[in-house]
Amino acid sequence: MNNDLPRWATGIVLPLLNLLSALLVTALVIHLLGEDPVESMQILINSAVVNPEGLAYTLFYASTFVFTGLAVSVAMQAGLFNIGAEGQMYLGGLGLTIAMLAFDASLPWFLLIPAGMVGAALFGALWAFIPGYLQAKRGSHVVVTTIMFNFIAASLMNFVIVKYLIPPGEQNTASRVFAPGAELPRLSDWLPVLGDTPLNISFFLALVALAVYGVMVSRSSWGYKLRATGLNQHAAHYAGVKISAMIIATMLISGALAGLGAVNSIMGSTHYLSLNFVGGAGFIGIAIALMGRQHPVGIFLSAVLFGALTQGGFDLSLEKPNIPPEMVILIQGLIILFCGAMEYLYAPALMKLIKGKQA
């Protein structure tokens, strides 16, 4: 029935209804915790959107989420469910750090920053290559292999950081701090109203990535082959698409995008590699791809939404002691539930309403 719905209904109305459902369930939980849902929502919105510094943090988180959302989305276009963006971003951070540690003392900033981005994209792509190759050549399901590679990445990073990257005499499980030339310019340098926030030029890089993704998927012959592979591999094969090559290429691009998510987190904020710097951004990318319907505008709006939840959730848990910080995870989970598993919950009723108005 969902195929009979107009695009505006599936692309706008259904996601909004699903989001509203998730928020209503969240409001019920907040009420059961003994807090006022309306007041709590006002605190969250003021902290994440109205306050300039809060908005800067929202866009900072959204910059990372755009890349992980794109990583999952481009794989979905080919019918692949890449759950490994978390591990790919982790390895992207390692590639970026290796480039920084090797060249931050010798390269100028205008070469150093691109070198870090290339390292992040390269390592993220290589980490996604193995699951893509196993899917294309051996039939191993990419969902299973990418989940496994998330755990392998976490263990590998723990070993590498503890064994090789901790400076002598230091106790913190992190690499040394990069040279100042490796720091991405912050937007607060031009807009002081944003305060001392980590929002940086990665935000604009995310917008460029969204635009390139939109053009490549919707306006190029390669994008047509990509979407054809996702819709029907057999038909795409008879049309001349090399399915194995398309799967591997798609996973390489997906991994590179996930790896680039590390640029905002490391070069734009901490300026060193630490354990667990990803912080679940790879898994949030799954929700963003589902809620945004793999459309660049939808991905951006979903990324901003999840950035607002991340920022607003911090202040909400501080001002409302009965609401734990894990409430943000609950909201994210509910959005994934309604926008993923229950994506077309309201489709029959919406279809009936549309037909009733047309009659």
Q: DSSP string spanning 178-204?
A: PPGGGSPPBGGGT-GGG-S---BTHHH
| Confidence check: pLDDT of 2 > 80 | no
The mean pLDDT of the chain is: 92
Q: pLDDT digits over 140-150, tens only?
A: 999 999 999 99
Q: Is the pLDDT of residue 250 over 90?
A: yes
Task: Evaluate if residue 357 carries a pLDDT over 80.
Answer: no
Buried b / exposed e along 2-18 (16+ C-beta atoms within 10 A): eeebeeebbeebbbebb
How far does CA 122 lie from the centroid of its chain? 18
User: What is the per-residue pLDDT for 211?
Assistant: 97
Angle at 253 between CA 297 and CA 147, to 5 degrees: 95
pLDDT at 6: 83
**CA angle, 98 then 101 then 104, to 5°:** 125
Q: Which long-range contacts (CB under 8 A, 24 or more apart) does 104-107 make?
A: 104/178, 104/179, 104/181, 104/182, 105/179, 107/181
Q: What is the pLDDT of residue 359?
A: 58
Distance CA 63, CA 207 (A): 8
SS3 320: coil
Task: Say which residues have a Cβ less than 8 Å from residue 229's Cβ, sequence separation at least 6.
Answer: 78, 79, 236, 241, 243, 246, 247, 250
Nearest to 266 by CA among 98, 128, 149, 154: 98
Left (φ > 0), alpha (ψ -120 to 50) or beta: where does 80 sit?
beta
pLDDT in tens, 150-207: 999 999 999 999 999 999 888 889 999 999 999 999 999 999 999 999 999 999 999 9
Cα separation, 183 vs 37, in Å, equals: 40
Position 235 scores a pLDDT of 94
